[in-house]
Structure 1
Amino acid sequence: MTTITEGATDDVRQLPARSTTRLLMNTHPTKIVVVGAGLSGLSAAMHLAGRGAEVTVIERQLTPGGRMGRADIGHYRIDTGPTVLTMPEIIDDAFAALGESTADRLDLMRVSPAFRASFADGSQLDVHSDAMAMADAVESFAGRDEAQGYLQLRDWLTELCRVEFDGFIGSAFDSPMSQLSTDLLRLFAIGGFRRWDKVVRRFLADERLQRVFTFQAMYAGVPPQRALAVYAVIAYMDTVAGVYFPRGGMRAIPDAMAAAAADAGVQFRFGTAVTALERSGSRVVAALTDTGDRLATDAVVLTTELPDTYRLLGHTPRQLFPPRPAPSAVVAQFGCRASHSAPPHHSIIFGKAWRECFRDITGDGRLMSDPSLLVTRPTASDPTLAPEGRDLLYVLAPAPNAQVGAVDWATIGPSYTAQMVEAVTEQLPELGEDIEILDVVDPAGWAGQGLAAGTPFALAHTFSQSGPFRPANRVRGVDNVALAGSSTVPGVGVPTAVISGRLAAERLTGPAATRRPTPALR
Structure 2
Amino acid sequence: MGTPRILIIGAGIGGLVSALLLATRGCDVTVIEKAEAPGGKMREVVVGGRRLDAGPTVMTMRWVFDKIFEEAGETLDAHVALTTATVLARHAWSESERFDLFADRNASADAIAAFAGPNEGRNYLAFCDQARGLHDALKDSFMTRERPSLLGLVQHAGLGGLRQLWGASPFGTLWDALGQSFQDPRLRQLFGRYATYCGSSPFAAPATLMLVAHVEQEGVWLVEGGMHQLALALAGLAKAKGARLRYGEAVDEILIEGGRAAGVRLADGETLRADAVISNADVNAIATGRFGRAAAPFATPTKPAERSLSALTFAAFAQTGGFPLHRHNVFFSRDYAAEFEAIFRRGRLPDEPTIYVCAQDRDEAGAAPPGPERLLVLVNAPPCGDRPAFPPEEMETCLRRSLARMAQCGLEITLQRDTMLTTQASDWEALFPATGGGLYGRSTHGAMASFNRPGSRSRLPGLYLTGGSVHPGPGVPMVALSGWLATQSVVADLASTSRSRQAAMSGGMSTR
TM-score by length of 1: 0.85
Note closer, same or farther for the CA distance 1:98–1:227 as it changes in structure 2 (3 Å cut): same
1:335 is displaced (CA, Å) by 1.6
What corresponds to 1:188 in structure 2?
165
Q: Which amino acid aligns with 1:269?
A: R
1:454 is displaced (CA, Å) by 1.9
Q: Establish whether residue 274 from structure 1 lines up as the match of residue 251 from structure 2.
A: yes
Among residues 207, 230, 235, which one is paired with 1:253 in the alignment? 230
What corresponds to 1:517 in structure 2?
none
SS at match of 1:277: strand
1:42 is displaced (CA, Å) by 0.6
What corresponds to 1:375 in structure 2?
357
For the Cα contact (< 8 Å) 2:284–2:302, is it kept in 1? no
Give the alignment of 1:67-466 within 5 angstroms. 67-120=41-94, 122-173=96-147, 177-183=151-157, 185-191=162-168, 192-238=170-216, 240-310=217-287, 311=289, 312=291, 313-316=294-297, 322=303, 324-337=306-319, 342-381=324-363, 389-402=371-384, 408-429=390-411, 431-432=413-414, 437-451=419-433, 452-463=435-446, 466=449
SS at match of 1:235: helix
Q: Which amino acid aligns with 1:150?
A: Y
Note closer, same or farther for the CA distance 1:406–1:462 as it changes in structure 2 (3 Å cut): farther
1:506 is displaced (CA, Å) by 1.3
Note closer, same or farther for the CA distance 1:182–1:193 as it changes in structure 2 (3 Å cut): farther
Q: Identity over aligned residues, as a percent?
A: 26
For the Cα contact (< 8 Å) 1:29–1:299, is it kept in 2? no
| Higher RCO structure (Cα 8 Å, ≥6 apart) | 1
Note closer, same or farther for the CA distance 1:406–1:234 as it changes in structure 2 (3 Å cut): farther
**C-alpha distance in 2, partners of 1:252/1:424?**
30
What corresponds to 1:12 in structure 2?
none
The CA deviation string for residues 201-227 of structure 1, in whole angstroms up to 9 with x for no partner, is 332211111122111112233322221
Question: Which sections of structure 1, spanning at least 5 residues, go unmatched?
Answer: 1-26, 514-522
Q: Establish whether residue 57 from structure 1 lines up as the match of residue 35 from structure 2.
A: no
For the Cα contact (< 8 Å) 2:331–2:409, is it kept in 1? yes
Q: Which amino acid aligns with 1:474?
A: R
**C-alpha distance in 2, partners of 1:501/1:142?**
42
Note closer, same or farther for the CA distance 1:36–1:414 as it changes in structure 2 (3 Å cut): same
For the Cα contact (< 8 Å) 1:125–1:141, is it kept in 2? yes
Among residues 458, 477, 498, which one is paired with 1:475 in the alignment? 458
Note closer, same or farther for the CA distance 1:272–1:332 as it changes in structure 2 (3 Å cut): same
For the Cα contact (< 8 Å) 1:56–1:266, is it kept in 2? yes
Q: Which amino acid aligns with 1:468?
A: F
**C-alpha distance in 1, partners of 2:412/2:263?**
56
Q: Which amino acid aligns with 2:396?
A: P
Note closer, same or farther for the CA distance 1:421–1:65 as it changes in structure 2 (3 Å cut): same
Question: Which sections of structure 2, spanning at least 5 residues, go unmatched?
Answer: 496-512
Note closer, same or farther for the CA distance 1:485–1:435 as it changes in structure 2 (3 Å cut): same
Q: In the comparison of the two structures, how many residue pairs are matched?
A: 482
Q: Which amino acid aligns with 2:482?
A: S
TM-score by length of 2: 0.87
1:435 is displaced (CA, Å) by 8.3
The CA deviation string for residues 464-499 of structure 1, in whole angstroms up to 9 with x for no partner, is 7733322233222x2111100111111111111111
Give the alignment of 1:491-502 within 5 angstroms. 491-502=473-484
For the Cα contact (< 8 Å) 1:114–1:242, is it kept in 2? no
- RMSD after superposition: 2.8
Note closer, same or farther for the CA distance 1:154–1:226 as it changes in structure 2 (3 Å cut): same
Deviates further, 355-364 or 446-455: 446-455
**C-alpha distance in 2, partners of 1:380/1:372?**
21
Note closer, same or farther for the CA distance 1:359–1:338 as it changes in structure 2 (3 Å cut): closer
What corresponds to 1:13 in structure 2?
none
For the Cα contact (< 8 Å) 2:57–2:358, is it kept in 1? yes
Note closer, same or farther for the CA distance 1:237–1:179 as it changes in structure 2 (3 Å cut): closer
**C-alpha distance in 2, partners of 1:140/1:175?**
43
Note closer, same or farther for the CA distance 1:329–1:162 as it changes in structure 2 (3 Å cut): same
**C-alpha distance in 2, partners of 1:398/1:124?**
21
Note closer, same or farther for the CA distance 1:305–1:388 as it changes in structure 2 (3 Å cut): same
Give the alignment of 1:21-60 within 5 angstroms. 30-60=4-34
For the Cα contact (< 8 Å) 2:384–2:426, is it kept in 1? yes
Note closer, same or farther for the CA distance 1:277–1:29 as it changes in structure 2 (3 Å cut): farther
**C-alpha distance in 2, partners of 1:354/1:340?**
25
For the Cα contact (< 8 Å) 1:332–1:437, is it kept in 2? no
1:455 is displaced (CA, Å) by 2.0
For the Cα contact (< 8 Å) 1:409–1:442, is it kept in 2? no
Note closer, same or farther for the CA distance 1:175–1:227 as it changes in structure 2 (3 Å cut): closer
